[in-house]
Amino acid sequence: MTDSSSALRHERVTVADACRRLGAAGLLIGTAGNVSVRVGRRVAITATGAVLATLSASQVTVVDLDGEVVAGTLRPTSELDLHLGVYRRYGTGAVVHTHAPMATALSCVLDELPCVHYQLLTLGGSVRVAPYATFGTPELAESVIGALEGRSAALMANHGALTHATTLDQAVEHALLLEWACGVYHHAAAHGTPRVLDEQQQLAVIEAALARNYGTTRPLDPDDVRGPEHVAHPRPAVQEESR
């Protein structure tokens, strides 16, 4: 160990918070999964064998981008090479790996989760399924890192899911979105062959989203307001009807 235990103290807390959030959302099972966040050349990453849903900051280890331990008392996750490889290849800020139920189920049957809903465009569109390799191996790291090309998410065949983003909050949001999309696909496929958005439909969504700054709240324009009663004193419809 080459540094004091204060290294990335805040990030160790945020990793533990993120794990508990993923657990509350039902994306975690036992000791499966691992989460990390990067600041410069340092990475705060969950310890191997830790129960993520009840994780504490003391179960988060700090390493550098070469995998050297900088702070903490527990061995880092067996998927350390996978996390570090994602940081090296994509320069991203946070990585979330889970064995979330819907994502894992589909990872056992699909080669790719097609773009059946426009929200998948947040992850880059269709989500590839990285070919299977044993957990914790360089082969698995290579397979998943390749499947992430141009994407913020990949499924891992017969294993689980991985998302990455600039911030840990975003990487968690991506994991939640991916699990939701896998659920949508699963339910749709139970009733027929899901329709897939074609390239033109996907482009139209991207254009519309950019034009509207979709997904953010915006103040009303003065022209949108018809009169003060519509904003300040909405009509008490229920009370009037009952008179």
The question of whether 173 is a catalytic residue gets the answer no
Is there binding between residue 92 and ligand 13P (CB under 6 A)? no
- Secondary structure letter of residue 68 according to DSSP: -
**Closest Cα partner for 94 from 158, 17, 181, 1?**
17
> In the β-sheet with 94-98, what is the strand arrangement from edge to edge?
69-71, 60-64, 42-46, 34-39, 94-98, 160-165, 153-156, 127-130, 112-113
Residues 79, 102, 164, 177: which binds ligand 13P (CB under 6 A)? 79
Q: How far is CA 234 from CA 219, 229, 237, 238, in A?
A: 18, 6, 9, 11
Cα–Cα distance for residue pair 96/224, rounded to 1 Å: 41
Query: Which residue's CB is nearer to ligand 13P, number 106 or number 120?
Result: 106
Residues 19-58, one symbol each (x = binds ligand 13P by CB under 6 A, - = not), give: ------------xxxx-------------xx---------
Residue 241: both structure tokens together? 């009807």
Among residues 101 and 194, whose Cβ is nearest to ligand 13P? 101
According to CB under 6 A, which residues from 165 to 224 bind ligand 13P? Answer: none
Nearer of residues 118 and 135 to ligand 13P, judged by Cβ: 135
Q: Name the residue nearer to ligand 13P (CB basis): 119 or 137.
A: 137
Cα gap 109→16, rounded to integer Å: 32
To ligand 13P, the closest distance from the beta carbon of 97 in angstroms equals 6
The residue from 79, 112, 179, 229 that is catalytic is 79
Using the contact rule CB under 6 A, the part of the chain among 77-85, 87-95, 175-183, 189-197 near ligand 13P is: 77-85
DSSP-based three-state secondary structure for 226: coil
DSSP 128-178: EEEPP--TTSHHHHHHHHHHTTT-SEEEETTTEEEEEESSHHHHHHHHHHH
Give yes or no for residue 61 binding ligand 13P (CB under 6 A).
no
Residue 75: CB minimum distance to ligand 13P, A: 8
Contact 125, 115 (CB under 8 A): yes
Binding of ligand 13P at residue 137 (CB under 6 A)? no
* Residue 5 binds ligand 13P (CB under 6 A): no
Active site members: 79
Query: Footprint of ligand 13P on this chain (CB under 6 A)?
Result: 31-34, 48-49, 77-79, 135
